[in-house]
Amino acid sequence: MEVTEAFDDRTHAIIPIEGMTCATCAGRVEKALLAEPGVIRAEVNLASENATVEGVAGLLRPADLIVAVRRAGYDADLRTGDVERDRQILAAEEKRLKQETWRMLGAAVLSAPLLLPMVGVEVPAWLQLTLATPVQFILGARFYVGAWKALRARTGNMDLLVVLGTSTAYFYSLYMLFAGHAGEHLYFEAAAVVVTLILVGKWLEVRAKRATTSAIRALMALRPENARVIRDDAEIEVPIAAISPGDIVVVRPGEKLPVDGVVLEGHSEVDESLLTGESQSLSKQAGDLVVGGSVNGSGLLRIKTTLVGEQSTLSRIIALVENAQGKKAPVQRLVDRVAAAFVPIVIVVASAAFFGWWLIAGDLNSGIVAAVAVMVIACPCSLGLATPTALMVGTGAAAKAGILIRDPEALELAHKLDTVVLDKTGTVTEGKPAVTEMLTTGISESELLALTAAAQTGSEHPLAHAVMTKAEGLKLGRLEDFQSHPGMGLTACVAGRQIAIGNRRLLAEKGVRTEYLEAQVAALEERGRTVMWVAALEPQPLLLGAIAVADPIRASAKAAVQNLQRLGLETIMLTGDHERTAAAVAAELGIERVIASVLPGQKAEVVRRLQAEGRTVGMVGDGVNDAPALAAANVGIAMGGGSDVAMQTAGITLMRSDPLLVGDAITVSRATRNKIRQCLFWAFFYNVIGMPLAAFGLLNPMISGAAMALSSVSVVSNALLLRHWRPAAKEGV
């Protein structure tokens, strides 16, 4: 078991499960886990063969969860360590594929001679028995084991149906042989060929399911096993697990970066495409942050390690994708309820077919064949695979494009969005404003700038950064007092002088008259400038001037808005800026509706008001003040360059600050939703059409076995077509 996330008094864990064959197996494991003390929620994903468990920290005991899974008739193990976990996952996949290959080949070799009567070659009854027996009880032993576990748990699964069907054909043929009816048609070939076809289906399914985890395996492959570090003034090679924060790591040209850190020496181009979806390499030099898993270009880098192990960006991305792939989408819960009743329904239909042919038509042989065909063609496996497989491929495709889906519910809901609310600063703009103009009344520009910069010393606000950058080289007064007024500005005492810096609302509250500069400020705002008013508060309120700041619009913002509008979505810009500034930016982007002068605490209320109008709202933001609105929206989308709070709150995180990815997140959601519907159609189609045909004697067991094998394979293969989805952001739309 791997504990992936802990917060407050809850902890999340992912447990790999072995031995599941269909949706009813997944349901049984869920019930076993939910019965354990401390477990709040448990979801089992048949496609990924993982259980995602949420529980109370301190009460959730890994060993108890493993015992519970084994008591339910399945296997689970403990996995520790980042790199070791990855090795185990990859090794287990390879081992299972080899096992399925040998089972399938062995069954095919033994079953092939049993088909010779179809081309006019007689096969003696004793040879049929000799060939069919190892297929039935050795190569097909897995079905008997699974069926026995299901019966012990007082439930049914796909294994039980296979065992009932093939055993009926085998033992009826055995009875006929020893009763002296060897000259009549026997059904050894039906039993053996059905087992073989299902094993072929399982082999194809394992190969196809392995492809669904390609995104995870690609991310795992980014992490090198060893790294060169500087120890005692010497360069030595050590395992990744031996690196600690603060270590100096040397990365040569062409190598993968082993850790997250800060460049101390060197200059190079770094490829982060597999982490962020960004196709262009990024220039890195001393002072720049780098991410483990990136590929170094032509330069030599010395990096000071900041994050290692499970705290690294790469490990957190892998954990997020695994967690999303392990959870259930809302539609899956309906499918689970259907799957829970599936096996009993199949047995009832098979029994009705048997007794109908025997008692009504007087044909015992046809009754046995029909019952076997019904049980063999029924496939709860395809029902269980349809939704999670499509979600796994969809989240994997999104991750490759730099879109991290934290919650499959967000992926499923995103296709319903009809309104997208865009925060302005840091979302459609760069979030790196610069001072462009200054207006003064009675003091010089340098005095105004120095006073404003001193008041904002230590502030992390983007506007403060712009002022501090402009004021470099100026002598600043001592900041003696500071008070923030969210959504309006600040008041401060600089070298004994009380001042206010902010918007009109703040100055009006402090009794400062602004009409002297209103015409000039209005002209600046109409050009898209954000204006900070500066006033002295003592001995009486007095306007000192205004500083205009421009925040460049992101290069892809206009194309992103156009893309959203092509998708049929209304775009709304939400900002705390003045109406004129917001209107100028919106006009340049082609956004028709603007909600401006909104306080940070009011953003969530705006979202709820839009929802009250009957809209399904997606909120896109990057700052701490956007977090409540992201949480209130139907789908929250956080820009990757923003705050951790915003990214933790949102259901979808964009790994790079490119607004084009917003439309991509919605299109991948729509593509995934369509694929889920297609997969569910095929899963139900096979069963709804196949069982009646089998019951009326229109399908023999071998055709039923082939159809059953193909049902799961076709569902998984159809889901894999999602891998061909391509983001507009990558295509430069």
Residues annotated as catalytic are 423
| Residue 18 DSSP code | E
Q: Give the length of the chain.
A: 733
Helix (H) / strand (E) element for 668: namely: helix 660-695
The Cα–Cα gap between 667 and 646 comes to: 22
- What are the strands of the beta sheet with 652-654, ordered from one edge? 403-405, 652-654, 635-639, 617-621, 419-423, 570-574, 593-595
Helix (H) / strand (E) element for 106: namely: helix 82-111
8 Å CB contact between 698 and 690 = no
Burial string for 302-339 (b: 16+ CB within 10 Å, else e) reads bbebbbbebebbbbbbbbbbbbbbbbbbebbeebbebb
Compute how many other C-beta atoms are within 10 angstroms of the C-beta atom of residue 409.
17
| Residue 329 DSSP code | P
Residue with tokens 């889906």: 405
8 Å CB contact between 384 and 582 = no
Using alpha carbons, select from 382, 410, 379, 324 the residue that is nearest to residue 673. 410
8 Å CB contact between 485 and 470 = no
8 Å CB contact between 194 and 166 = yes
The Cα–Cα gap between 135 and 355 comes to: 28
Cis before 600 (ω within 30): no
Q: Pull the structure tokens for residue 110.
A: 């033994």
Provide the β-strand partners of residue 422. Answer: 573, 620
Using alpha carbons, select from 49, 3, 48 the residue that is nearest to residue 29. 49
Assign residue 101 a region (left: φ > 0; alpha: ψ between -120 and 50; beta: otherwise). Answer: alpha
Q: What is the rounded end-to-end Cα distance, in angstroms, of the chain?
A: 43
The Cα–Cα gap between 13 and 57 comes to: 11
Q: Pull the structure tokens for residue 706.
A: 């082939």
Using alpha carbons, select from 465, 368, 453, 382 the residue that is nearest to residue 425. 465
8 Å CB contact between 237 and 228 = yes
SS3 725: coil
Residue ranges of the alpha helices (H) in 614-659?
Answer: 627-632, 644-649
